A = this chain, B = another copy of it.
Amino acid sequence: MSQKVHSMKKFINDPEKVVDEMLEGLLLAHPDQLKSVRADNRALVRADGPVKGKVAIATGGGSGHLPLFLGYVGKGMLNGVAVGDIFASPSSQQMLDVTRAIHGGEGVLYIYGNYGGDVMNFDMAAELADIEGIRVETVVATDDVASMPKGEEDKRRGVAGMFYLYKLAAAKAETGASLEEVKRIAEKANKNVRTMGVALSPCILPAVGRPTFEIGEGEMEIGMGIHGEPGIQRGQIESADDVAKSLISSILRDLPIQRGSDVSILINGLGATPLEELYIIYRAVHKLLEEKGINVYKRYIGEFATSMEMAGLSVSVLKLDDELKELLDAPFVTPFQVQV
């Protein structure tokens, strides 16, 4: 057993084994819900899969973002996930193994965030699956408004708003819809969702042992990515109400929403930010939208896509219509989240 002494403020053993040991803990904790289909545990699928006769949905990405990505595998949600090292893409072979294990005969949809390594590896996995006669379609999440200007939406990063692509596409797949229809819903969700984040402190990569960047004592950074990618504005920490106003303004400038519309709101904690603060932000967001005549049909408040112990949060807005509302209301069960 590795018992290296380390001085990081983390509960880990060997920094190089964080992901392996986390996955081992996860599989010991949830054997009724998740199973591994590789000796390295980097391909996890629903314990009750594959589901015959339905489109299967897979995701994947680097570790360090729990419950993203693997936390969204479960009934009424995704069928499988490829798990990379901290902030690193899984391999195409790991993704291919997921694809094989979840295929129920009706094709597989890949949904993941728009990061170079992931795109390359998942595209290769899709090609390899195709050779084996498994139809694969792909929808890449690009909800992070701050990551590229308007007009270049398809180059944006995927962040917490990806939750909605998962949720809605999975609910559609559950109805027995075709691969084309499930893909259409994931694309529609991506088109209708925007996210803006703000960070107060960095996170520490276990294998590095120190913060990946610095934010000054009284400072915050708006638009920072979930791996510490630079944001669009650094300055003094503002009040919660002003932060909410800034994030919502950026989102609504990018995705105009008419008075009388219904939306879903996701207030996502990046790691260290307490739930109390997420509710103070929700209060401000709710009121801002109310002033604009926009109705919050359903909200999610908690940790959905983290960056280990980073302090910060993001706000996602999803524009709803009747079709999306019905899909959003469908139940799901994962080891991390349950909606009844």
- Enumerate chain A interface residues (CB-CB to B < 8 A): 1-13, 18-19, 21-26, 28-29, 63-64, 66-67, 200-201, 217-218, 236-243, 271-284, 286-287, 299, 301-303, 306, 308-309, 311, 313, 333, 336, 338-340
Measured CB to CB, the nearest residue on chain B to A17 is: B280
Most B CB contacts (10 A, CB to CB) among A7, A29, A299 go to A29
User: Smallest distance from the beta carbon of A6 to chain B beta carbons, Å?
Assistant: 7
Contact A276 B218 (CB under 8 A): no
Q: Which residues of B are found within 8 Å of A2, using beta-carbon distances?
A: 239
Contact A309 B66 (CB under 8 A): no
User: Known: A24-B283, A311-B309. Contact between A277 and B237, CB under 8 A?
Assistant: no
Contact B13 A240 (CB under 8 A): yes
A282–B29 Cα gap in the complex (Å)? 8
Contact A29 B313 (CB under 8 A): no
User: Known: A241-B3, A309-B311. Contact between A201 and B282, CB under 8 A?
Assistant: no
User: Known: A12-B240, A333-B340. Contact between A280 and B18, CB under 8 A?
Assistant: yes
Contact A274 B5 (CB under 8 A): no
User: Smallest distance from the beta carbon of A298 to chain B beta carbons, Å?
Assistant: 10
Contact A301 B21 (CB under 8 A): no
Contact A26 B340 (CB under 8 A): no
The one of B277, B279, B339 in contact with A10, judged by C-beta atoms closer than 8 angstroms, is B277
User: Smallest distance from the beta carbon of A295 to chain B beta carbons, Å?
Assistant: 12
User: Smallest distance from the beta carbon of A291 to chain B beta carbons, Å?
Assistant: 12
Contact B276 A308 (CB under 8 A): yes
Q: List 19 other contacts, CB 8 Å, given A25-B286, A28-B283.
A: A2-B239, A3-B239, A9-B200, A9-B237, A10-B277, A11-B243, A21-B283, A24-B283, A25-B279, A25-B281, A25-B282, A28-B282, A29-B279, A29-B282, A29-B286, A29-B301, A64-B274, A271-B272, A272-B309
Contact B11 A313 (CB under 8 A): yes
User: Smallest distance from the beta carbon of A243 to chain B beta carbons, Å?
Assistant: 6
Contact B21 A280 (CB under 8 A): yes
Q: Which residues of B are found within 8 Å of A63, using beta-carbon distances?
A: 276
Q: Which residues of B are found within 8 Å of A308, using beta-carbon distances?
A: 274, 276
